């Protein structure tokens, strides 16, 4: 296998990895705020694509505006989901909340099926079907969009998390929720914000990918599992780790296609998930044990 082919696989891995990174960020942000895995995260990805298609094809909006509508309305759905389903469970029992997210996932995909039908829906490429050559490898323009949008979203999130009072409060919640409450942080608001961000990031991924793959009401769970595996791989609760986990998972999938067979591509995420849980449950970047303070 030549260098050009390897580069081609690496670019594909980077593209898929970016998507996984965005979905993994959603998992990790909600986990940091609540201690719960949100199994509806994949549906936010699905809604981002479906609502953008609806705004573009149904409402006839121009593509950039339709994409914005898709992402913002999905973020709003994330907030509504938190207020109606998560917040109602006053004791915050993690097991109950996880089951609520599983139920929420089913509700969201069923609603999408009823509202938008069972068929695959397309979206045009953001800026035409061109491609550029990178050292002989073909890089589609839409892939540049995907990687670029991910990079910008990650940079914005990094800024929010590390340079603003809101981000500091979110990190404080992730460290110790009771401590956050006694310094005056409204931890319930932080949970709502985490769902807003998680839904928005998931939607962004769904929007960016739809021109290449089309979308449908049932695309959520597959991507959800991959994003979850990526978040676990990096180390749950740490946004940087989620991005690293997403990119590593994307690369691993590409490597498996290159050296084994594309048949097993979708199994890689599960293998990685199990391997991490067996060997290094805290993830690549996780601390082995939270220090007690």
Partner 1 sequence: MSYEPRIVLSVEGVHAGYGHVSVVRGIDLRVAEGELVTLIGANGAGKSTLLKTIVGLVSPTAGTIHFLEQDITRMRPDRAVRAGLALVPEGRMLFGPMTVEENLELGAHARDRSDSAEDLKRVFDLFPVLQERRSQTAATLSGGEQQMLAVARALMARPRLLLLDEPSLGLAPKVIKEIFAALDRLKAEGLTILLVEQDARLALKHADRGYVMRTGSIALAGNAADLLADDDVRLIYLGAWHGEGESS
Interacting residues toward partner 1 by CB under 8 A: 165, 168-169, 171-172, 175-176, 178-187, 290-293
Nearer to partner 1, 1 or 293 (CB): 293
Nearer to partner 1, 206 or 234 (CB): 234
Residues 6+ apart with CB under 8 A from 125: 141, 142, 211, 212
Give min distance, CB of 197 to partner 1, in A. Answer: 19
Nearer to partner 1, 89 or 168 (CB): 168
Nearer to partner 1, 171 or 280 (CB): 171
Nearer to partner 1, 187 or 210 (CB): 187
Distance (Å, whole) CA 267 – CA 136:
30
Asked whether 227 and 42 are in contact (CB, 8 A), the reply is yes
Give min distance, CB of 123 to partner 1, in A. Answer: 41
Distance (Å, whole) CA 86 – CA 290:
26
Task: Name the token pair of 228.
Answer: 């979850």
Question: Any idea which residue has 């021109």 for tokens?
Answer: 211
Give min distance, CB of 51 to partner 1, in A. Answer: 34
Nearer to partner 1, 4 or 162 (CB): 162
Strand, coil or helix: what is 169?
A: helix
Question: Any idea which residue has 């109606």 for tokens?
Answer: 84
In terms of Cα–Cα distance, which of 68, 202, 50, 48 is closest to 112?
Answer: 50
Distance (Å, whole) CA 64 – CA 43:
21
Cα separations in angstroms, 247 against 26, 217, 227, 230: 15, 25, 10, 8
Give min distance, CB of 185 to partner 1, in A. Answer: 6
Give min distance, CB of 112 to partner 1, in A. Answer: 36
Give min distance, CB of 36 to partner 1, in A. Answer: 20
């Amino acid at each position: 296998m030549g260098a050009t082919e390897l580069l081609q696989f690496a670019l594909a891995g980077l593209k898929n990895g970016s998507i996984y990174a965005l979905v993994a960020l959603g998992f990790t942000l909600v986990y940091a705020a609540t201690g719960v895995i949100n199994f509806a995260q994949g549906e936010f990805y699905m809604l981002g694509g479906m609502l953008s298609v609806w705004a573009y094809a149904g409402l006839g909006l121009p593509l950039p505006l339709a994409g914005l509508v898709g992402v913002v309305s999905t973020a709003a759905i994330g907030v509504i989901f938190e207020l109606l389903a998560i917040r109602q469970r006053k004791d915050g029992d993690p097991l109950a909340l996880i089951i609520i997210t599983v139920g929420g996932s089913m509700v969201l995909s069923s609603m999408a099926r009823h509202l938008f039908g069972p068929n695959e829906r397309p979206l045009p490429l953001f800026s035409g079907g061109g491609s550029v050559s990178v050292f002989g490898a073909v890089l589609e323009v839409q892939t540049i969009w995907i990687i670029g949008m991910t990079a910008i979203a990650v940079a914005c999130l990094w800024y929010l998390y590390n340079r603003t009072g809101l981000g500091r409060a979110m990190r404080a919640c992730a460290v110790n929720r009771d401590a956050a409450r006694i310094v005056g942080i409204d931890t319930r608001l932080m949970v709502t914000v985490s769902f807003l961000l998680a839904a928005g990031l998931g939607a962004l991924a769904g929007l960016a990918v739809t021109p290449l793959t089309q979308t449908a009401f049932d695309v959520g769970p597959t991507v959800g599992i991959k994003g979850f595996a990526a978040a676990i791989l990096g180390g749950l609760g740490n946004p940087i780790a989620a991005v690293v986990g997403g990119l590593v998972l994307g690369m691993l999938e590409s490597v498996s296609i290159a050296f084994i067979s594309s048949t097993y591509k979708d199994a890689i995420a599960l293998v990685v998930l199990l391997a991490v849980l067996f060997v290094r449950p805290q993830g690549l970047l996780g601390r082995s044990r939270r220090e007690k303070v």
